């Protein structure tokens, strides 16, 4: 027996009349015309608009605070500065570097380098790791002291300052040049012996490329005034209980990173062993022009990334988007950067 064809019927009755798209558009246009007549009379003029609000420049204070075990960590921004991307990978074809940047939605001619500086409150000491570029480095940097105060501390509160290396964006904030005195007057200072010797003798001027020789002049102005308050140390030295230095030479001869442990939590402070959120992780063999000893720098970078991935430790990277916190995940024989979620 043949079955009756199935008839699909609307569940609700259609609206009375056929309201087509064309009729809706016509009705909308008529409505708009009515509004013009109502607001502007027969002239059809729009009613006068209120003045536009002024655009506001600036950002919120650059500090971000979280707990690491029993320690309280505050990431202070010293601002940012621009660098040409030609410095990014001296051992790679320029077009390959530009293509990689483009694939990550980044500009190909310049990069923005943030300066993220950790302040560690152990409960008994306040420890600052690097001091930023001060007022004479870049117009868009030198904001550390303002952000330190905005976070609730004064320069006089800092007990210890660790200097990871002697580049301007890390040490040129040491001396208040108006007062001709240390900006952190109550602090003791820590730096690797090799790093101190490199910058306070003629080594830096002799070995740095011409475009970086100004770094040596600045270091000789900043470091001698703190000589009597500075401890020169070797990798593996303890700054305070739970805070250990790690030798990561190459970027500079005595460059060091830090491992911070409190309870069951660990944070690695990379300093400039790692500098870019994509290049340093996905292409750890690409060699920046700012690395003085490039073989050593690459070996240090791979060692630190492997440590972070193996330990699943939080990492602070100085020169990526503020506040520079995240984790390192393996991606075959290289890595990828996983930014940490902001904790409110």
Residue 48, pLDDT score: 61
Q: Please provide the average confidence, as pLDDT, over all residues in the chain.
A: 89
Q: Which helix (H) or strand (E) holds 147?
A: helix 144-150
Residue 58, pLDDT score: 75
Residue 10, pLDDT score: 43
User: pLDDT tens per residue, the chain (344 residues)?
Assistant: 444 444 434 444 444 444 444 443 444 444 444 433 344 444 555 566 567 888 887 777 799 999 999 999 999 999 999 999 999 999 999 999 999 999 999 999 999 999 999 999 999 999 999 999 999 899 999 999 999 999 999 999 999 999 999 999 999 999 987 768 999 999 999 999 999 999 999 999 999 999 999 999 999 999 999 999 999 999 999 999 999 999 999 999 999 999 999 999 999 999 999 999 999 999 999 999 999 999 999 999 999 999 999 999 999 999 999 999 999 999 999 999 999 999 88
CB distance 257 to 270 below 8 Å? yes
* Closest CA relative to residue 223, chosen from 146, 170, 270, 155: 170
Q: Which two tokens stand for residue 119?
A: 């302040």
Total residues belonging to the chain = 344
Q: CA 316, CA 239: separation in Å to the nearest integer?
A: 18
* Closest CA relative to residue 128, chosen from 73, 196, 178, 200: 73
Cβ of 18: how many Cβ atoms within 10 Å? 7
**Rg (Cα) of the chain, in Å, rounded?**
29
Q: CA 102, CA 12: separation in Å to the nearest integer?
A: 53
Helices (H) and strands (E) in the chain, counts: 9, 16
3-state class of 202 per DSSP? coil
- Give the C-alpha distances (Å, rounded to integers) separating 312 from 175, 326, 327: 37, 10, 7
Report pTM. 0.85
Q: CA 211, CA 83: separation in Å to the nearest integer?
A: 13
Residue with token string 């309201």: 19
């Amino acid at each position: 027996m043949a079955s009756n064809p199935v008839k699909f019927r609307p569940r609700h009755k259609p609206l009375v009349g056929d309201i087509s798209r064309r009729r809706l558009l016509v009705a909308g246009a008529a409505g708009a015309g009515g509004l013009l007549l109502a607001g502007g009379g027969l002239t059809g003029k729009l009613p006068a608009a209120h003045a536009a609000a002024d655009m506001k420049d600036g950002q919120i204070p650059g500090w971000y605070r979280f707990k690491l075990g029993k320690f309280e960590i505050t990431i202070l921004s010293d601002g940012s500065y621009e660098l040409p991307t030609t410095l990014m990978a001296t051992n790679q074809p320029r077009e390959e570097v530009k293509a990689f940047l483009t694939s990550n939605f980044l500009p190909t001619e310049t990069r923005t380098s943030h300066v993220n500086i950790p302040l560690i409150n152990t409960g008994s000491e306040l420890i600052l790791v690097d001091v930023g570029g001060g007022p004479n480095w870049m117009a868009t940097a030198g904001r550390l002291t303002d952000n330190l105060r905005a976070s609730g501390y004064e320069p006089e509160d800092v007990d210890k300052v660790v200097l990871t290396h002697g580049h301007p964006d890390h040490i040129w904030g040491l001396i208040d040049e108006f007062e001709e005195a240390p900006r952190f007057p109550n602090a003791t200072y820590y730096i690797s012996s090799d790093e101190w010797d490199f910058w306070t003798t003629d080594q830096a001027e002799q070995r740095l490329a011409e475009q970086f020789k100004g770094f040596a002049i600045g270091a000789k102005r900043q470091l001698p005034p703190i000589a009597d308050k500075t401890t020169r140390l070797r990798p593996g030295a303890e700054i305070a209980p739970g805070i250990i230095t790690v030798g990561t030479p190459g970027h500079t001869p005595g460059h060091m990173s830090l491992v911070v442990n409190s309870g069951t939590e660990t944070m690695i402070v990379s300093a400039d062993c790692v500098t870019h959120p994509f290049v340093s992780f996905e292409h750890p063999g690409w060699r920046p022009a700012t690395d003085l000893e490039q073989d050593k720098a690459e070996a240090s970078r791979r060692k630190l990334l492997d440590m972070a991935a193996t330990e699943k430790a939080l990492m602070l990277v100085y020169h990526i988007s503020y506040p520079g916190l995240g984790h390192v995940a393996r991606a075959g024989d290289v890595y990828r950067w996983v930014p940490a979620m902001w904790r409110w």
